[in-house]
A and B are shown apart, each in its own frame.
Chain A
Amino acid sequence: MASTDTKPPKPEEKKDEERKLTPTAEIKINIAFIERAVAELEPRFTHRVLRSLTALRKRTNDKVLRDAIEENYPAESTVKAKLLSWLPPATEAEMDIDSTVQPESTLPPKPTFDPVPEVEIYLRLLIIHYFHTSKENYAKSIQLSSETVDKMLALNRRSMDPIAAKIWFAVERSYELGGELADARPLFLAAQRTAALRHDDDTQASLINRLLRSYLHYNLYDQADKLVSKTTFPISASSPQFARYHYFLGRIKAVQLNYTTAHTNLQAAIRRAPPAKTAPGFYQAVHKLFVVVELLMGDIPDRSIFRHPVLEKALAAYFDIVKVIQLSAVRTGSLSEFQATLTKHATQFEADKTYTLIVRLRQNVIKTGIRRLSLSYSRISLRDICLKLHLDSEEDAEYIVGKAIRDGVIDGRIIHEKGWMECEGRKNGYGPDVSEVYMRRISYCMDLHNQSVKAMRYPLDAHRKELAAAEGARERERELAKEIQEGDLDEDDDGLGGF
């Protein structure tokens, strides 16, 4: 391998250097990392490179990319020519500088080998991301991504998997920007099958998310649900992928009225999501849905969510809805108020794709109302319920209360002859369900603990050193023991002598 002798700098050094580095130099370091990852079969290094992708992406331009390619490939390389052909040709002035400076300064030694194919794919990834920055390049990015995908599949190298996962993300973005997201779906489906067969977890996770996103973009909840039931999401997938997956699941489940599952999934998505400041878009999107699902479950979301600096503005419309629901049964006319709030923010809800979910909240306004009434009155006439909740008729009120009792929203019964509802006191909080809740929480904690134990990393062969150290220690101990023994004897002798 060409690279094994050019050892990449240690991470500690790199951190300090990073701020000063030009993008080209950073790409060079990254390439060294990739080569090392391939040479040592250690995907960790590749992951490190990919982590810096977002930051690096913003600093690249065609000059940076061109320089990076020039520097890392030998002059007569065909791969280089191909990569360069995607970039716009250098302007005259740049060319001059390049040709005059390069021969004189022999400092960056020209590599004589082509680097590993992973590097080529990595550079392609950077180029695709660069194409995404300007509109006129969208068509080119689609072309390049499909070519890259073909290449990836032909090469079929396991060490390429982490980069491949990122490539698929870039492919999706290319198609989306080019306005033909649906066209990419057959491509994804085929690739997903291949990835599953090759146990390529990174790519599989990335592709499942791509597919789900594509389905949900076109409101194809049915297909999305089937995809979820037919595939297993790889456990070893990275956190951001998991966060996305949970978010998509949450959306599907919410539409299917399975709010409890939706709630758990969204919670997982929030926990796994990158910090609010780095990925505000995702954070906001998850919270929007989370608030709605929580309301649908009959809970009132925590107020502090709405004061979060990242969320405050985005969730303003949702906060209005929460306020209306909280006021229901306290103030009369909440149903009409709910309708008014809904129409006021309709366009935003529409854009967030939460409109239909929020429409479902109407029945929750009624439910919350009935629950509040049942808590505050031990006996209330159906007529009063009807007036307080703005229902159309007493007859309706009777049916609605009956349904609420059956669904377990309230504990009570209707005395039909007298036309009132009687509410029983609260059930005492002790029973088998308490131990069940306890069990659930404990097992969650246990699971978390076990997962973290499993997630600990042990570098390869590190235990050898430890073994050697232990061996040395034992050796020393033995010597010590021997010395003590001898010393003891000496001392004893001395003592005896002295005695």
Chain B
Amino acid sequence: MASRQLQTLYKDLQRAFDARPTDLKKCGILLAQLKISLVETGLLLPNGDASLNDMVIARDILEIGAFWSIRAKDVPAFDRYFSQLHTFYTDYSLPPSKREFPLRGLNLIRLLIQNRIADFHTTLESLPLPADEINLNPYIRHPVNLERWLMEGSYSKVWNAREEAPAEEYKFFVDSLMGTIRNEIASCEEVAYESLPIKDVATLLFFSSQSELLKYAQERGWQVDLSAGLIRFARKNDEQMEIPKQKLIAANLAYARELEQIV
């Protein structure tokens, strides 16, 4: 049985979390205390002998913690909470939580933003959903679509979808997502164009003001020609190719030696 202290703290946390606007600071303090008492009762990493009820409480606390860390814009904390939750979702047959899929979706978006595409796909494969239901679950569908558009290069669709987040917390990631796609587009433009009018660059990169664009251009080292209203991209791949003499000689000698051995 969970200790009385844990119960009261849990109630406090629920109240603090459900209050609008959420008292982030208070939640943080409560969560820290709760985690200590979870460790004391052996529920943080349950060994299988905890009662079902206690585990549901522990899961609730961790779920609130995960949401809280996103609202507090603390991505590493989210990472920790989510990996702790993972055991609760996969290893125990607890009654399903309605927060499970929103959190899984958030985790997918996080992987997408950090450009961990391989992890994104392994996580997607291990979802407890049949493959054709992925498109029916709004929380999962959103990151899956984002990934598809990013891979195709339909960046404008990603841009347009930024307001269609299925849950409040998804919006937190929108800004960093925009940063990711902006970098993607910029790297495409550097290769695909020789020069572009400033106005068009701004629309392509979804900048609303020219000053923002100029700052960004400076970061990426583009040549801005204000008088002609053009941005020029330096070409990188026009270097003269050199013949790697040393390598070729070494390779040929190696072939000769091997041939000698065989014959």
Question: Footprint of B on A, CB under 8 Å?
Answer: 218-222, 225, 255-258, 346, 349-350, 355-356, 359-360, 362-363, 366, 391-393, 395-396, 398-406, 412-414, 416-417, 431-432, 435, 439, 442, 446, 449
Q: Return A414 CB to nearest CB of chain B, in Å.
A: 5
Question: Footprint of A on B, CB under 8 Å?
Answer: 117-119, 121-127, 130-132, 148, 151-157, 184-185, 187-194, 196-197, 200, 204, 241, 243-244, 247-248, 251, 255, 258, 262
Do A414 and B193 contact each other (CB < 8 Å), given the known contacts A222-B122, A346-B132, A432-B241?
yes
Using A355-B131, A392-B154, A417-B197 as known contacts, list a sample of 11 further A-B pairs with CB atoms less than 8 Å apart, ordered by residue number in A: A219-B126, A255-B121, A256-B121, A350-B130, A362-B148, A362-B152, A363-B148, A396-B153, A399-B155, A400-B154, A403-B188
Q: How many A-B residue pairs have CB under 8 A?
A: 110
Q: Return A135 CB to nearest CB of chain B, in Å.
A: 26
Interface contact A356-B187, CB-CB below 8 Å: no
Interface contact B125-A255, CB-CB below 8 Å: yes
Do A256 and B118 contact each other (CB < 8 Å), given the known contacts A221-B125, A356-B131, A413-B193?
yes
Q: How far is the CA of A362 from the CA of B200 in the complex (A)?
A: 29
Query: Which of B117, B118, B152 is within 8 Å of A366, CB to CB?
Result: B152
CB-CB nearest in chain B for A432: B244
Interface of A is mostly: helix
Please, which residues of chain B bring their CB within 8 A of the CB of A220?
Answer: 126
Interface contact B151-A363, CB-CB below 8 Å: yes
Query: Which of A405, A413, A431 is within 8 Å of B241, CB to CB?
Result: A431
Interface contact B132-A355, CB-CB below 8 Å: yes
Interface contact A416-B193, CB-CB below 8 Å: yes
Interface contact A399-B121, CB-CB below 8 Å: no
Q: How far is the CA of A355 from the CA of B133 in the complex (A)?
A: 12
Query: Which of A218, A258, A396, A414 is within 8 Å of B154, CB to CB?
Result: A396
Interface contact A356-B193, CB-CB below 8 Å: no
Please, which residues of chain A bring their CB within 8 A of the CB of B157?
Answer: 392, 396
Q: List 6 tightest A-B contacts by C-beta distance, closest first.
A: A403-B153, A402-B188, A256-B118, A400-B153, A355-B131, A221-B122
Q: How far is the CA of A219 from the CA of B258 in the complex (A)?
A: 44
Query: Which of B184, B192, B251 is within 8 Å of A413, CB to CB?
Result: B192
Q: How far is the CA of A219 from the CA of B190 in the complex (A)?
A: 39
Query: Which of B127, B153, B251 is within 8 Å of A404, CB to CB?
Result: B153
Please, which residues of chain B bring their CB within 8 A of the CB of A404?
Answer: 153
Q: Return B80 CB to nearest CB of chain A, in Å.
A: 17
Interface contact B153-A402, CB-CB below 8 Å: yes
Please, which residues of chain A bring their CB within 8 A of the CB of B243?
Answer: 432
Please, which residues of chain B bring their CB within 8 A of the CB of A417?
Answer: 197
